[in-house]
């Protein structure tokens, strides 16, 4: 049988999704979904993982499960093509995690650079919840339970995919070919790898208040773009401007397509020309910001409108999620069955084992 091509990816429901998620992952997912190149697509909300550092705030996770579902639907994820589900509703994932825990050492987990940074950011140095520390293992369960071949995520997730690959290799080495090694699929555009916040800080984050959300109104988007961080030394229009660290240009790298010039800024033929003029001097920030705002509104407006439609029937969104969970659970249960067999912990459906033991004891 030809190996199926299976996509799996997900997000922690700790807040509404923003345009960093969009250019880093969501936009690509929808393209992949509609490409017809994949046999199955699973997209899920990692609420269990979200709880690893929010255990005293379950209401936050509960509120954001529906927000993220609405974000998914509004960007164009289609439940007829993708299975959309919620991690905590798939208990098979816990069982798989339980076995994988025996295949990873504490020192291996301590070397995970993403977890290291997150521990620092959360001031967890002296009191790391065990579940948080081990979430890369649970993430390997998420990936392998669905036999994912392709995991489209941002670069911060690279260590998680590597950890999953190691677990797969170890498992298959010990128990025979059972699990599938996943490949990461990174964004193809450098600006999309890690879109900075509107203040130019490294990353968009709710606590820094530097995000543009997919659900922001047209006015909010306009305001946020107009107040975006640029080049602080570019004071007069005639001053030469710098592109590095200039958020407006990073966003243009992520959002601008050649046809946008014909629609919104006919004085230039390409982004390279616009950049050259800015670097030379003589191009004001406001003009570039207006251009960026027009492009972003064009991209975000249909998303906003679809969201409003889905918001009209929230029970239907929950019903969609519930159905997705049923489909996902069946897929995970199938893998678990194979895992138990491979690990020889399928005592009761192994007639040969029972007969063999009966014989051993009857002769003595």
Which one, of 96, 102, 99, lies nearest residue 148 by Cα? 96
Stretch that binds ligand TRP, among 59-67, 151-159, 217-225, 277-285 (CB under 6 A): 151-159
Give the shortest CB-111-to-ligand TRP separation in angstroms: 17
**Positions of E strands within the chain:** 6-11, 40-45, 83-86, 150-152, 183-185
Give the shortest CB-151-to-ligand TRP separation in angstroms: 5
Distance CA 34, CA 82 (A): 10
Stretch that binds ligand TRP, among 33-41, 138-146, 170-178, 247-255 (CB under 6 A): 138-146
- Which residue, 116 or 344, has its beta carbon nearer to ligand TRP? 116
- Which residue, 21 or 234, has its beta carbon nearer to ligand TRP? 21
- Which residue, 104 or 256, has its beta carbon nearer to ligand TRP? 104
Q: Applying CB under 6 A, which of residues 86, 104, 115, 143 lies at the interface with ligand TRP? A: 143
Distance CA 142, CA 91 (A): 11
Diameter over CA atoms, the chain: 98
Stretch that binds ligand TRP, among 3-11, 225-233, 251-259, 306-314 (CB under 6 A): 3-11
- Check residue 24 for interaction with ligand TRP (CB under 6 A): no
CA within 13 Å, CB half, 280: 8
Residues 6+ apart with CB under 8 A from 358: none
Q: What token pair was written down for 146?
A: 């669905």
- Check residue 89 for interaction with ligand TRP (CB under 6 A): no
* Tokens 């969104």, located at residue: 317
The CA-atom distances, in angstroms, between 291 and each of 118, 156, 320 are 35, 30, 38
Q: In what order do the strands lie in the sheet with 83-86?
A: 83-86, 40-45, 6-11, 150-152, 183-185
- Which residue, 88 or 230, has its beta carbon nearer to ligand TRP? 88
Q: Applying CB under 6 A, which of residues 89, 139, 149, 230 lies at the interface with ligand TRP? A: 139
Please tell me what DSSP assigns to residue 201.
Answer: -
Distance CA 316, CA 335 (A): 29
Q: Applying CB under 6 A, which of residues 30, 65, 93, 153 lies at the interface with ligand TRP? A: 153
Stretch that binds ligand TRP, among 51-59, 135-143, 199-207, 252-260 (CB under 6 A): 135-143
Q: Applying CB under 6 A, which of residues 6, 11, 73, 163 lies at the interface with ligand TRP? A: 11
Q: What token pair was written down for 289?
A: 């910001």
- Which residue, 11 or 285, has its beta carbon nearer to ligand TRP? 11
- Check residue 17 for interaction with ligand TRP (CB under 6 A): no
Q: For ligand TRP, how many residues bind (rule: CB under 6 A)?
A: 13
Give the shortest CB-6-to-ligand TRP separation in angstroms: 12
Cα three-residue angle 13-181-86, rounded to 5 degrees: 20
Give the shortest CB-29-to-ligand TRP separation in angstroms: 11
Q: Applying CB under 6 A, which of residues 7, 8, 86, 300 lies at the interface with ligand TRP? A: 8
User: Residues 30-49: x/- map of binding to ligand TRP (CB under 6 A)?
Assistant: ----------------x--x
Which one, of 218, 298, 302, lies nearest residue 259 by Cα? 298
- Check residue 186 for interaction with ligand TRP (CB under 6 A): no
Distance CA 252, CA 293 (A): 10
Please tell me what DSSP assigns to residue 23.
Answer: I
Distance CA 61, CA 223 (A): 28
- Which residue, 29 or 275, has its beta carbon nearer to ligand TRP? 29
Q: Which residues make up the interface to ligand TRP (CB under 6 A)? A: 8-12, 46, 49, 139, 142-143, 151, 153, 157
């Amino acid at each position: 049988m030809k190996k199926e091509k299976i996509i799996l990816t997900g997000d922690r429901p700790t807040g509404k999704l923003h345009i960093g998620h969009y250019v880093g992952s969501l936009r690509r997912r929808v393209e992949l979904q509609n490409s017809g190149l994949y046999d199955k697509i699973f997209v899920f909300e990692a609420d269990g993982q979200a709880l690893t550092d929010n255990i005293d705030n379950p209401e936050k996770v509960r509120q954001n499960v529906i927000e993220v579902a609405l974000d998914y639907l509004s960007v164009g994820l289609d439940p007829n093509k993708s299975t959309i589900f919620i991690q905590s509703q798939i208990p098979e994932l816990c069982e798989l995690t339980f076995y994988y825990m025996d295949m990873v050492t504490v020192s291996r987990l301590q070397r995970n650079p993403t977890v290291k940074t997150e521990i620092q950011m959360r001031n967890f140095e002296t009191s790391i919840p065990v579940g948080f520390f081990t979430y890369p293992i649970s993430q390997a369960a998420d990936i392998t339970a669905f036999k994912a071949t392709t995991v489209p995520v941002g670069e911060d997730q690279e260590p998680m995919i590597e950890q999953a690959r190691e677990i797969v290799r170890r498992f298959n080495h010990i128990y025979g070919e059972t699990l599938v090694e996943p490949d990461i699929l990174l964004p193809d555009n450098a600006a999309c790898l890690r879109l900075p916040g509107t203040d130019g800080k490294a990353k968009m984050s709710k606590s820094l208040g530097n995000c543009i959300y997919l659900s922001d109104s047209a006015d909010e988007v306009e305001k946020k773009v107009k107040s975006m961080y640029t080049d602080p030394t570019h004071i007069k229009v005639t001053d030469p401007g710098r592109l590095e660290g200039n958020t407006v240009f990073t966003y243009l790298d992520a959002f601008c397509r050649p046809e946008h010039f014909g629609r919104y800024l006919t004085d230039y033929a390409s982004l390279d020309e616009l950049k050259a003029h800015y670097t030379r001097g003589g191009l004001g920030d406001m003009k570039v910001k207006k251009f960026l705002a027009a492009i972003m509104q064009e991209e975000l407006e249909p998303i906003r409108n679809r969201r409003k439609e889905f918001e009209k029937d929230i029970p239907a969104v929950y019903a969609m999620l519930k159905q997705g969970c049923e489909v996902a659970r069946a897929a995970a249960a199938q893998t678990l069955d194979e895992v138990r067999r491979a690990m020889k912990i399928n005592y009761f459906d192994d007639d040969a084992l029972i007969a063999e033991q009966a014989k051993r004891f009857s002769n003595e």
